[in-house]
Chains A and B, each alone.
Chain A
């Protein structure tokens, strides 16, 4: 019977695959020199950074799980139900999460010797987390849709472009949530009511906003600088406007999970992230550094040149549910 032959041979081929694939046979290395990092940092950046670290500390093995902020949040919540978080290290773009984790007592306090080079507003005073890189919420313009001279120079003018403007959904994206919190804390909900009335579009997140902007579906977008820089590098007719009131600089903190089986390896990784060498490596990957003594990537303004809006983290963490609910009522219903 031809069919059973096909079935048998396909089974045989399938059975052989594991032998070419070490991931199947030994998914977990010895805990000794291993540290597991959950991160929402872009895959390539995370992998390269991990490799660079392992070159300096060959006895330590960094294993990386990379996913979006929401997926990592879900994974953490599920792991909590079955005996605790499995990761040793957490490096997300979603700063408010760290305040929650700290409140739940799930983080290990560690003040890295490198932390003294990092500004006070980018680290937790008790060492529960420290910013490892910066990402900035800015206004991006597609110059083929809206000439740069007509583009808004300030956040307050952003809603005026109405249907030509797009932003990510704070219900899904951490950096958008932080941005909404900054706006609301300063001026209440007026900005959003105006945006809704004029028809500003909401998409899922910053990547989608930037993609739709490059695809000329919109003229301006509220999105993250490094995504836009990447598109400009590839030749897209986009430009970045640093808003007059100030950009929103979202720190992407790194923290050690309390239950880590390998605190030494985890601490060594944090030290490397914050070190001059580590930050310089990040700069080669177009990331804005957190140290004053490391120059930003070419063409990017340094932290001291840009105006930043203050971020009310603790207020945002406390009022998270109310902020989400109100945003949903105004913008999404």
Chain B
């Protein structure tokens, strides 16, 4: 390798490093060092509080086990569904896939509300059960730790689903073919060939689900308080309400620490990366598994599941938007279109939709590009220091969004670089929040591309950019599209960061929904969320048409 080629790769790394420094490291450091401050002097007081108050250390334990349980169930559900949707001859697979991904765009607040409407003590299913059995209450309780795990799983299993579906699509079929030719049965092939090959994707998705539920606030806040069940994020919110900055950051550092431990574990399991490179350039699509007699029952099972997790929550939100008030009896007089008329007339709502589209699209594009570069340097170029970069870029995922918003104010509200009060500070915050998604998804994608392909191109004299453009990007494309969508959809409805950073005329969809909701206009908030959902469905349909199915979900 000549010196100039080496330089160019390090130049790229320096640029990416600067990006991570400005977007992640500098802002988070601004918060972190304040956890060691007490009246301006160094102190460990806040950390002492965390470990001496049972409320706080119990919250840490609660967070860990709830997130572990969620990640485990997400891995099971997500992998099974991905397999059904990609590798079998299940009917209506494409529709199934879109429907599975769609609820991810539902604000988690509405997801939780939908489940309360369904499973809560006065929910439709609970009332149905009570009528059927004649009992006073349903045998389940959504306001409990188990309820939190359930709703978190429904909310996050899509992370495993998307990463595993991508991996299954890119898989080299020849290994399976070889096993089949040697007489191995379908089940054995799945267990000994397919499963190990997609294991990095399952683990990467599981880690995303784990850290996602660790940092989720909306669901435990809504479902946990009545059970007096507290997790780290609800404790951070409490510390901010006091307001005790140092305590909030000390608690957040605990969140990051827990996340880091599990990230290291995941990386440890994945040592010996060569085992997992499964795309070696042959464009043979893996064969479809014929389900035969199980085709109909599996199809019915998948349909019931999708109706349950996608269609019912979305319908429940639409129903809320159409009712005069939430909880109104379901009769003709209770239905109205007023809430839609109201929201369409609201200038701030139209502006919010434009702002959010702009922010989400830009954040998704920038983080995907940055994610590919970071993963490339770590996984493929294996440059010194790239592992640290990969690590740093993943940290914000475990930081509560409120803390990220505070970090942005501390870092970017002072001259000369004052972005405060403009859309750009929200963009920078979104980049920090969503960079980890992009890095993790592209990471597992690139891991599957065999080194030999790029080697071959390099030996033939292809320059760095040409290699990225002609070899890696096309091969990593499905993973990148998946990553883009994983950023775009939540960014479109982002609330926690935006609510602290928005200003006059820079409100986002999440802010508008929240402010309507908070003032008791839950029905109007639901109308706005329904409109956004409709836009996504139509947008997805158009994009799929235009690109012949190459993009979209």
Q: Do A and B come from one complex?
A: yes
> Which residues of A come within 8 Å of B, CB atoms?
1-3, 5-7, 10-11, 13-14, 17-18, 20-24, 27-28, 36, 42-45, 47, 63-68, 70-71, 73-75, 77-79, 81-83, 86, 169, 171-172, 201-204, 207-208, 210-211, 214-217, 227, 230-231, 234-236, 321, 324, 328, 332-333
Q: How far is the CA of A14 from the CA of B491 in the complex (A)?
A: 14
Complex Cα–Cα for A158 and B202 (A): 51
Q: Which residues of chain A are near B121, meaning CB under 8 Å? A: 217
- CB < 8 Å: which of A23, A79, A82, A235 contacts B504? A23
- B241, B422, B548: the one contacting A70 at CB < 8 Å is B241
Given A70-B241, A78-B410, the answer on whether A217 and B422 have CB atoms closer than 8 Å is no
When chains A and B are docked, how far (Å) is the Cα of A45 from the Cα of B516? 11
CB contacts (< 8 Å) of A204 on chain B: these are: 221-222, 225
With contacts A27-B503, A44-B519 taken as known, whether A214 is within 8 angstroms of B410 at the C-beta atoms is no
Shortest 8 CB-CB distances between A and B: which pairs? Answer: A23-B505, A42-B519, A63-B504, A234-B325, A215-B327, A17-B358, A78-B409, A43-B515
Task: Using A42-B519, A65-B502 as known contacts, say yes or no to A235 and B551 having CB atoms under 8 A apart.
Answer: no
- 27 A-B pairs (CB sep. < 8 Å): A2-B548, A6-B547, A10-B361, A14-B357, A14-B358, A14-B362, A23-B423, A42-B515, A43-B518, A47-B348, A65-B502, A66-B515, A71-B499, A71-B500, A74-B243, A77-B243, A78-B409, A79-B409, A81-B409, A82-B413, A204-B221, A215-B122, A216-B122, A217-B121, A231-B325, A236-B327, A328-B55
Is there contact, CB below 8 Å, between B499 and A67? Answer: yes
B325 and A2 within 8 A (CB): no
| Chain A nearest CB, measured from B226 CB (Å) | 5
Given the known inter-chain contacts A78-B410, A201-B226, A333-B55, please indicate yes or no for A18 contacting B358, CB distance below 8 A: yes
The answer to whether B365 and A24 have CB atoms under 8 Å apart is no
Q: Which residues of B contact A81 (CB under 8 A)?
A: 34, 245, 409-410
Quick one: given A10-B365, A202-B225, A234-B325, are A77 and B422 in contact (CB under 8 Å)?
Answer: no
Contacts of A45 in B (CB 8 A): 519
Residue of A nearest to B354 (CB): A21
Complex CA gap A216/B503 in Å reads 37
Q: A23-B423, A172-B241 are in contact. Are A42 and B506 (CB under 8 A)?
A: no
Given A6-B543, A204-B221, A234-B325: A17 touches B357 (CB 8 Å cut-off): yes
Please determine whether B409 and A82 come into contact, CB atoms closer than 8 angstroms. yes
Selected from B242, B422, B521, the residue in CB contact (under 8 A) with A27 is B422
Known A-B contacts A14-B361, A77-B245, A172-B238; A231 and B520 likewise in contact (beta carbons under 8 Å): yes
Additional A-B contacts beyond A64-B504, A70-B240 (9; CB < 8 A): A2-B547, A2-B550, A14-B362, A23-B506, A43-B516, A43-B519, A47-B348, A217-B121, A235-B334
The verdict on B402 contacting chain A, using a C-beta distance below 8 Å, is yes
| Least Cβ–Cβ distance between A104 and chain B, in angstroms | 12
Known: A1-B474, A18-B358, A20-B354. A74 touches B406 (CB 8 A): yes
Contact B122 A333 (CB under 8 A): no
Closest chain-A Cβ to B438's Cβ sits at a distance in Å of: 14
> Does any Cβ of A come within 8 Å of B298's Cβ?
no
Instruction: Tell me if A73 and B240 are in contact (CB < 8 A).
Output: yes
Shortest A240–chain B CB gap in Å is: 15
| B450 close to A (CB within 8 Å) | no
B361 near A202: Cβ-Cβ < 8 Å: no
Q: Is B517 an interface residue (CB 8 A)?
A: yes
The answer to the question of B477 belonging to the interface, with a C-beta cut-off of 8 Å to chain A, is: yes
Choose from B222, B228, B241, B409 the contact partner of A73 (Cβ within 8 Å): B241
B interface residues with partner A (beta carbon < 8 Å): 34, 54-55, 116-117, 120-122, 221-222, 225-226, 228, 230, 237-238, 240-243, 245, 324-328, 334, 348, 351, 354-355, 357-358, 361-362, 365, 402, 406, 409-410, 413-414, 420-423, 474, 477, 481, 499-500, 502-506, 511, 514-522, 543, 546-548, 550-551
**Set A36, A71, A82, A235: member contacting B325, Cβ < 8 A:** A235
In the complex the two chains form, is A207's CB within 8 Å of B228's CB?
A: no
Given contacts A27-B423, A70-B240, contact A7 B365 (CB under 8 A): yes
Question: How many angstroms from the CA of A60 to the CA of B477 in the assembled complex?
Answer: 52
Set of chain A residues within 8 Å of B547, measured between Cβ atoms:
2-3, 5-6
**Which residue of chain A is the closest to B477 with respect to CB atoms?**
A3
A3 in contact with B238 given A24-B506, A215-B326 (CB within 8 Å): no
Q: Evaluate contact between A83 and B414: CB separation under 8 angstroms.
A: yes
Q: Which of A2, A42, A78, A234 has the most CB of B within 10 A?
A: A78
**Contact in complex: B358, A78 (CB < 8 Å):** no
For the complex, what is the distance from the CA of A42 to the CA of B516, rounded to whole Å? Answer: 8
Which of B324, B410, B517 contacts A234 (CB under 8 A)? B324
Q: B402 to A74, Cβ gap below 8 A?
A: yes
Partner of A214, one of B34, B120, B326, B500: B326
Known: A67-B515, A78-B500, A217-B122. A236 touches B325 (CB 8 A): yes
A6 touches B225 (CB 8 A): no
In the complex, which residues of chain A have a beta carbon less than 8 angstroms from the beta carbon of B520? 42, 207, 210-211, 227, 230-231
CA distance A235 to B335 in the complex (A): 12
Residues of A within 8 A of B504 (CB): 23, 27, 36, 63-65
Q: Within the assembled complex, what's the spacing in Å between the Cα atoms of A14 and B519?
A: 32
Residues A67 and B226 in contact in the complex (CB < 8 Å), given A1-B474, A2-B548 = no
Nearest Cβ in chain B — how far from A237, in angstroms? 9
User: How far apart sit A243 and B514, CA to CA, in the bound complex (Å)?
Assistant: 31
Contact partners of A82 in chain B: CB under 8 A: 409-410, 413-414
Separation of A214 and B514 alpha carbons in the complex (Å): 19
Residues of A within 8 A of B327 (CB): 211, 214-216, 236
CB nearest neighbor in A for B361 = A14
Cβ of A230: which chain B residues have Cβ within 8 Å of it?
520
Q: A3-B481, A24-B422 are in contact. Are A79 and B548 (CB under 8 A)?
A: no
**Contact flag A6-B551 (CB < 8 Å), given A171-B241, A204-B222, A214-B325:** yes
Bound together, the chains give a CA A275 to CA B253 distance in angstroms of: 49
Residues of A within 8 A of B238 (CB): 171-172
Q: For residue B499, which residues in chain A have a CB less than 8 angstroms away from its CB?
A: 67-68, 71
- In the complex with contacts A6-B551, A24-B423, A75-B500 CB distance below 8 A: yes
Cα distance, A66 to B355, chains bound together (Å): 17
Task: Name the one of A23, A78, A86, A214 contacting B406, with C-beta atoms under 8 angstroms.
Answer: A78
Contacts of A215 in B (CB 8 A): 116-117, 120, 122, 326-327
> Which A residues touch B328, using CB under 8 A?
234-236
A27 & B505 in contact (Cβ 8 Å cutoff):
yes
Q: Which residues on the B side are within 8 Å of A77 (C-beta)?
A: 240, 243, 245
Residues in A with CB closer than 8 Å to B365 are 7, 10-11, 14
Could you say which residues of chain A place their CB within 8 Å of the CB of B514?
67-68
Residue of B nearest to A29 (CB): B504
B505 → chain A, closest Cβ, in Å?
3
Residue of B nearest to A62 (CB): B504
A169 to B241, alpha carbons, bound, how many Å? 11
Q: Which residues of A contact B237 (CB under 8 A)?
A: 70, 172
The answer to whether B221 touches A333, judged by C-beta atoms less than 8 angstroms apart, is: no
Q: Is B500 touching A67 in the complex (CB atoms < 8 A)?
A: yes
> How far, in angstroms, from A11 to B325 measured CA to CA in the complex?
40
Instruction: List the B residue with the shortest CB-CB distance to A196.
Output: B228
Q: A18-B358, A215-B122, A328-B55 are in contact. Are A6 and B325 (CB under 8 A)?
A: no
- Chain A residues contacting B222 (CB-CB under 8 Å) are 204, 208
Contact of A65 with B503 in the complex, beta carbons under 8 Å? yes
**A214 partner residues in chain B, CB cutoff 8 A:** 325-327
Partner of A24, one of B348, B358, B517: B358
Q: How far is the CA of A321 from the CA of B121 in the complex (A)?
A: 34
**Cβ contacts under 8 Å, A172 to chain B:** 237-238, 241
Given known contacts A73-B240, A172-B241, is B228 in contact with A333 (CB within 8 Å)? Answer: yes
